[in-house]
């Protein structure tokens, strides 16, 4: 019996419980069959599908409300939440785990919790009973010395256990690795390491979860002092466990990959080398996945060719490079460097669509009518020779009429004008079907020639970005629709309908600004007595929907258009994004909510995303009459890729926030215009208008009187004057304190009269 069938059998038993003796008798297993049964039970226990209550007695964690398996998220104060793998009847959201019930678990571990209490509002408490998989085999932190010996304090404040380091395990056995761009670090004794950042392999995990007891490790890398240039990047890479060193066998395979395209490799490929195909990327891009070409057909339609680097030709299934790429899942991009999915020999050379070089591609050839409807599509293997390596800036200048750039690219100017025309047609088509265009400004970290950060600016977007975005969306949709019909199973990029509660939470905020998604439905409210985490009691009101809300992407699209250009646009757009689910990979196609697309996948970036490489293999298989039908493995790849994508995104976001905080250290006392983006009982979070930097104005620091936070209106209100602060307010703040270690900034409100009085005082002092 297969694992899935055995699990379903146990789920059908009373309370989802069974003993080995009962299963052996019921399934009539003997000898080798019994051994297979025992092995299957062990696998299900290891995955968290079964909980072994006592020897040879099992309970399905997906049965009832006794147990739940999932990922543990721990707060720096010790308590945490188990994020369940499945929806549990009667429970809303995650399961609260008190600090004394986390046991020896660490942030990020996969674990099983016993559900101890479910409150009337659906909130649940539990305790960790088993750790399924450790999230941290290594921990990066600061090496310290104490009375009892040496230890490492983790950089991640959510990891509460200090790691004990025996003296004979403080110096890396193989010697310290060289950091990129830094001189090697040599130490001869543990005392020399004190105050330095190291990476530690955990040999023994804590058994009781209390700080300083139990966890033991050995130093495997010395990164340098906390303030050394580049150490912040190294810390973030290791904190998020991003694989950053290619194994020798991967490097050897990459170095031995031939760069010359042979006649055998050309056979069966379409030759596009005589066409003026171009790449369009950012100024600092080093790898070029995609190249495009547009023409106008005699019937007035547009011909669009999207050529994507044929990585699948060079990276074969099961090869060392393929296994490494699958583990990495995606490339990670930091302000001053990248951690690539593929070795540089492939990512920036052999596979990259460099100008004036022959390159192998998979091509999507599409024809669109004047309304943006695709009337014909074809996919093939090809070879191209990019005519130009264009940048977004130069294409934008050409289309804006810059004389110098139009002369420089005179032969391509008509082509770029057609690209702009087609991109606008495709964009209007997406708008008509309800696709949402969130145009959130992004922070761009600026550096000087020595690599030191000099500022934070708004990343500029122009029509050239729109051109590439529309063309890649079109190709991804076309490939997804084709594979839906052509293969038994595929990987899709899905974006599910948002949860009703998140939508209604956002609707409350939107109505405060006088706008709405237009999805309000009758709400039923009732009150009950709730017990807080600290044991106190209070009356609480619950709002429930009398009927399911009907939400479509058009509701969001209309609101985005309504708030465009208004002062509150940025904050409402940000909150709208938070109300939506995260896009992810899956073998079950449920469409893409935000794009209003029935079919969508990732096809256009196989150099930096593993799912794109898999989609290339599936598409190439249709050329040869081969189909790949192992849906279970595809789902494993989809799930793994979703996780590695989130891991890389969190690492990228953390480093940017860290660099922003370090940049503000020398600006304590400066004043800034800011926007209130959130209000809490602790105070209000503000974002500086020009720097895209956030910080907290503590509620106790607000001047003139005592203020209180009112949760029902999300406002901070003065107790005497009734002065209010709410989301979207524009304020002036002064930077009071910077905590680089925790990446936190603290501001205070600057009142006009206070600023004026200060200026008068300075004048009088002179």
Cα 673 versus chain centre, distance:
30
Choose the weakest-confidence range: 113-127, 321-335, 441-455, 656-670: 441-455
Identify which of 609-623, 725-739, 752-766 has the greatest average pLDDT: 609-623
Average pLDDT over residues 733-747: 91
Q: In the predicted model, is pLDDT for residue 128 greater than 80? A: yes
Mean pLDDT of the chain: 87
Least confident span in 127-131, 150-154, 365-369, 522-526: 522-526
Query: Which of 11-25, 221-235, 284-298, 721-735 has the weakest average pLDDT?
Result: 11-25
Retrieve residue 215's tokens. Answer: 């966890």
Q: What is the pLDDT of residue 574?
A: 86
H helix and E strand count, the chain: 19, 36
Instruction: Among 144-148, 212-216, 602-606, name the most confident range.
Output: 602-606
Q: How would residue 211 be classed by pLDDT, with cut points 50, 70 and 90?
A: very low
Rounded average pLDDT over 355-374: 97
* Cα gap 77→765, rounded to integer Å: 47
**Taking CA 90 as the corner, what is the angle to CA 89 and CA 94, rounded to the nearest 5 degrees?**
90
pLDDT of amino acid 241: 94
- Residues near 495 by Cβ (< 8 Å), separated by ≥ 6? 580, 581, 583, 584, 591, 592, 593, 594, 595, 600
CA-based nearest residue to 501, from 84, 95, 93 = 93
More confident residue, 69 or 385: 385
Least confident among 1-10, 670-679, 730-739 = 1-10
Specify the pLDDT at position 524: 52
Q: How confident is the model at residue 639 (pLDDT cuts 50, 70, 90)?
A: very high
What is the sign of the dihedral through the CA atoms of 627, 597, 475 and 340? negative
pLDDT average, residue stretch 363-381: 97
- Are the beta carbons of 737 and 747 closer than 8 angstroms? no
Q: Distance between CA 309 and CA 261 in Å, rounded?
A: 14
Strand-pairing partners, residue 382, are 270, 361
| H/E stretch holding 366 | strand 358-368
Within 8 A by CB and 6+ apart from 66, the residues are: 59, 114, 115
The full DSSP string for 86-146 is: S--TT--SPEEE-GGGSTT--TT-EEEEEEEEE-TTS-EEEEEEEEEE-S-SEEEEEEEEE
Give per-residue pLDDT as tens, 55-68. Answer: 888 888 877 678 88
Can you say how many angstroms the Cα of residue 444 is from the centroid of all Cα atoms in its chain?
18
pLDDT of residue 132: 83
Helix, strand, or coil here: 399? helix
Q: Would you say residue 290 has pLDDT above 80? A: yes
**pLDDT attached to residue 642:** 96
pLDDT at 80 over 70: yes
Residue 33 has pLDDT above 60, yes or no: yes
Percent of the chain with pLDDT over 90: 55
Q: How far apart are CA 58 and CA 718, in angstroms?
A: 57
Q: What is the DSSP letter of 495?
A: B
Taking only the tens place, the pLDDT of each residue in 660-683 is 898 899 899 999 999 998 899 999
How confident is the model at residue 112, as a pLDDT? 87
670 SS3 class: coil
Bridge partners of 73? Answer: 81
Tokens 């009429």 label which residue? Answer: 401
pLDDT at 764: 43
Alpha carbons 709 and 680: distance in angstroms, whole number? 7
Q: Is the pLDDT of residue 765 over 50?
A: no
**Nearest Cα residue to 474 out of 315, 613, 604:** 604
Please state the rounded mean pLDDT for residues 208-229: 79
Q: For residue 83, what is the enclosing H or E element?
A: strand 80-84
Q: Please give the backbone phi and psi of residue 504, each rounded to the nearest 5 degrees, phi first.
A: -70, -35
pLDDT top residue among 505 and 312: 312
Identify the helix (H) or strand (E) that includes residue 635.
helix 631-664
73-87, 111-125, 494-508, 636-650 — most confident range: 636-650
Domains of the chain: 3-60 (no CATH), 67-133 (2.40.50.140), 138-239 (2.40.50.700), 250-489+600-646 (no CATH), 497-580 (no CATH), 668-765 (2.40.50.140)
Question: Residue 325 phi/psi, 5° resolution?
Answer: -65, -40
For residue 489, pLDDT over 90 is answered with yes
Q: State mean pLDDT over 626-647.
A: 89
Please write the tens of the pLDDT for every residue from 153-194.
Answer: 999 888 878 899 999 999 887 544 445 555 667 788 899 999
Cβ atoms < 10 Å from Cβ of 328: 23
User: What pLDDT sits at residue 526?
Assistant: 52
Q: How much is the pLDDT for 752? A: 64
Q: Alpha-carbon distance 185 to 443, whole Å?
A: 34
pLDDT value, residue 93: 81
C-alpha 74/C-alpha 722 separation (Å) is 37
The confidence band for 461, taking pLDDT boundaries of 50, 70 and 90, is confident
* Tens of pLDDT, residues 569-610: 888 888 899 999 999 999 999 999 999 999 999 999 999 999
Q: How sure is the predictor about 539, in pLDDT bands with cuts at 50, 70 and 90?
A: low
Q: For the CA atoms of the chain, what is the radius of gyration?
A: 29
User: Per-residue pLDDT averaged across 101-129, rounded?
Assistant: 85
Nearest to residue 587, comparing CAs of 622, 621, 553, 629?
629
pLDDT digit string, tens, across residues 683-707: 999 999 878 889 999 999 999 899 9
Query: In the structure, what pLDDT confidence band is assigned to residue 245 with cuts at 50, 70 and 90?
Result: very high
Strands 671-680, 730-739: pairing kind: antiparallel
Q: Is 358 a residue whose pLDDT tops 70?
A: yes
pLDDT beyond 70 at 488 = yes
**Are 512 and 727 in contact, with CB atoms under 8 Å apart?**
yes
Query: pLDDT grade, residue 458 (50/70/90)?
Result: confident
pLDDT at 519: 81
Q: Where are the alpha helices (DSSP H) in 400-462?
A: 403-408, 413-433
CB 384 within 8 A of CB 353: yes
């Amino acid at each position: 019996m297969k694992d899935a069938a055995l699990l379903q059998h146990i789920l059908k038993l009373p309370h989802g419980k069974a003993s080995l003796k009962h299963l052996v008798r019921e399934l009539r297993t003997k000898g080798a069959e019994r051994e297979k049964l025992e092995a299957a039970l062990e696998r299900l226990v290891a995955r968290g599908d079964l909980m072994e209550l006592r020897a040879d007695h099992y309970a399905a964690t997906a049965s009832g409300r006794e147990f739940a398996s999932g990922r543990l998220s721990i707060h720096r104060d010790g308590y945490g939440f188990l994020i369940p793998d499945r929806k549990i009847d009667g429970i809303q959201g995650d399961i609260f785990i008190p600090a004394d019930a986390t046991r020896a678990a660490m942030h990020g571990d996969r674990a099983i919790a016993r559900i101890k209490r479910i409150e009337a509002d659906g909130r649940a408490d539990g305790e960790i009973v088993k750790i399924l998989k450790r999230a941290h085999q290594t921990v990066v932190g600061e090496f310290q010395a104490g009375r009892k010996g040496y230890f490492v304090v983790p950089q991640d404040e959510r990891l509460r256990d200090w790691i004990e380091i025996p003296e004979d395990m403080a110096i890396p056995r193989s010697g310290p690795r060289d950091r990129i761009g830094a001189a090697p670090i040599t130490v001869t004794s543990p005392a020399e390491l004190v105050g330095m950042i190291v990476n530690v392999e955990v040999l023994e995990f804590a058994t009781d979860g209390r700080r300083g007891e139990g966890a033991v490790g050995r130093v495997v890398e010395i990164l340098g002092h906390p303030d050394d240039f580049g150490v912040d990047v190294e810390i973030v890479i290791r904190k998020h466990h991003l694989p950053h060193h290619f194994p020798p066998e991967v490097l050897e395979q990459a170095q031995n990959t031939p760069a010359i395209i042979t006649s055998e490799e050309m056979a069966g490929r379409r030759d596009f080398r005589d066409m003026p195909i171009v790449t369009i990327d950012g100024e600092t891009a080093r790898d070029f996945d995609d190249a495009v070409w547009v023409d106008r057909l005699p019937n007035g339609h547009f011909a669009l060719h999207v050529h994507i680097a044929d990585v699948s030709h060079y990276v074969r299934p099961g090869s060392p490079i393929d296994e490494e790429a699958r583990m990495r899942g995606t490339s990670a991009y930091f302000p001053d460097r990248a951690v690539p999915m593929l070795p540089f020999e492939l990512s920036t050379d052999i596979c990259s669509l460099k100008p004036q070089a022959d390159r192998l591609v998979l091509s999507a050839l599409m024809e669109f009518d004047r309304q943006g409807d695709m009337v014909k599509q074809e996919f093939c293997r090809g070879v191209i020779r990019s005519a130009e390596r264009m940048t977004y800036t130069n294409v934008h200048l050409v289309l804006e009429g810059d004389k110098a750039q139009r002369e420089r690219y005179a032969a391509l100017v008509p082509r770029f004008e057609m690209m702009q025309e087609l991109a606008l047609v495709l964009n209007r088509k997406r708008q008509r079907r309800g696709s949402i265009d969130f145009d959130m400004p992004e922070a761009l970290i600026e550096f000087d020639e020595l690599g030191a950060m000099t500022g934070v600016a708004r990343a500029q977007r122009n029509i050239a970005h729109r051109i590439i975005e529309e063309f890649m969306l079109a190709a991804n949709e076309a490939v997804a629709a084709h594979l839906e019909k052509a293969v038994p199973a595929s990987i899709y990029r899905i974006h599910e309908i948002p949860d009703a509660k998140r939508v209604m939470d956002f609707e409350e905020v939107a109505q405060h600004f006088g706008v709405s998604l237009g999805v309000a439905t009758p709400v039923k409210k009732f009150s009950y007595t709730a017990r807080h985490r600290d044991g106190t009691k209070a009356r609480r009101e619950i709002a429930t929907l009398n009927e399911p809300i009907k939400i479509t992407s058009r509701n969001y699209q209309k609101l985005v258009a309504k708030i465009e250009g208004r002062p509150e646009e940025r904050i409402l757009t940000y909150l709208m994004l938070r109300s939506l689910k995260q896009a992810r990979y899956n073998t079950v196609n449920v469409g893409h909510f935000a794009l209003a697309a029935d079919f969508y996948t990732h096809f256009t970036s196989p150099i930096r995303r593993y799912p794109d490489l898999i989609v290339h293999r599936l598409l190439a298989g249709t050329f040869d009459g081969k189909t790949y039908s192992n849906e279970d493995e595809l789902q494993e790849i989809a799930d793994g890729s979703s996780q590695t994508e989130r891991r890389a995104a969190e690492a990228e976001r953390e480093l940017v926030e860290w660099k922003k905080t370090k940049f503000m250290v020398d600006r304590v006392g400066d004043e800034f215009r800011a926007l209130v983006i959130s209000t809490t009982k602790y105070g209000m979070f503000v974002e500086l208008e020009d720097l895209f930097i956030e910080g907290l104005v503590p509620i106790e620091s607000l001047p003139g009187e005592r203020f209180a936070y009112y949760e029902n209106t999300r406002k901070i209100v003065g107790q005497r004057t009734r002065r209010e602060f709410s989301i979207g307010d524009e304020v002036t703040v002064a930077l009071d304190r910077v905590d680089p270690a925790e990446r936190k900034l603290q501001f205070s409100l600057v009142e006009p009269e206070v600023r004026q009085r200060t200026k008068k005082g300075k004048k009088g002092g002179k």
